[in-house]
Amino acid sequence: MRQRPGDWNSLALSADQILASAEAAEHDGASTVLPGVHAGYSTGTSGARGVFLSTKAERARYLGQCLAKLLPGSPLRRRRIGLCLRADNALYRDVSNAGPFEFRFFSLASPARKRASEIESFAPEIFVAPSHVLAELALFSNNGEFTAPPLERLFYGAEPMGAAERAWITEALGVRPDPIYQATEGFLGTACERGVLHLNEDSFVFEFEPIAGSDRNRLIVTDLRRTSQPIVRVRLDDIVQPKDAPCPCGLALQAIEPVEGRYTDIWRWGEARIFPRQVERAVADVLAPAEHWRAIGSPDGIRFACDAPRADQARITIARLLAEAGVTLPVTLRPYLPDGFPKRRRVQWSNA
Ligand SMILES: [Zn+2]
Dist. CA 116 → ligand 1 center (Å):
31
| pLDDT tens digits, one per residue of 278-310 | 999 999 999 999 999 999 999 999 999 999 999
User: Mean of the pLDDT values across residues 154-166?
Assistant: 94
Inter-residue contact 241 to 260 (CB < 8 Å): yes
Q: Report the alpha-carbon distance of residue 261 to residue 160 in Å, rounded.
A: 6
The pLDDT of residue 27: 76
Dist. CA 77 → ligand 1 center (Å):
23
- Co-location of 300 and 248 in the same domain: no
User: Mean of the pLDDT values across residues 210-224?
Assistant: 94
Dist. CA 88 → ligand 1 center (Å):
30
Dist. CA 81 → ligand 1 center (Å):
23
Instruction: Give the other-Cβ count within 10 Å of 129's Cβ.
Output: 26
- Co-location of 70 and 202 in the same domain: yes
Nearest to 171 by CA among 131, 142, 133, 130: 142
> Which of helix, strand or coil describes residue 151?
coil
- Co-location of 192 and 329 in the same domain: no
- Domain finish residue from 222, 237, 256: 256
The pLDDT of residue 45: 47
Dist. CA 70 → ligand 1 center (Å):
13
Q: Report the alpha-carbon distance of residue 157 to residue 7 in Å, rounded.
A: 29
pLDDT over 80 (residue 334): yes
Dist. CA 170 → ligand 1 center (Å):
18
Inter-residue contact 59 to 94 (CB < 8 Å): yes
- Co-location of 69 and 203 in the same domain: yes
- Co-location of 82 and 41 in the same domain: no
| pLDDT tens digits, one per residue of 106-147 | 988 889 999 999 999 999 999 999 999 999 999 999 999 999
- Co-location of 211 and 136 in the same domain: yes
- Domain finish residue from 226, 256, 286: 256
Dist. CA 200 → ligand 1 center (Å):
12
Dist. CA 175 → ligand 1 center (Å):
17
- Domain finish residue from 235, 256, 277: 256
Owning domain of residue 44: 5-54
User: Mean of the pLDDT values across residues 40-52?
Assistant: 67
Dist. CA 221 → ligand 1 center (Å):
21
- Co-location of 170 and 79 in the same domain: yes
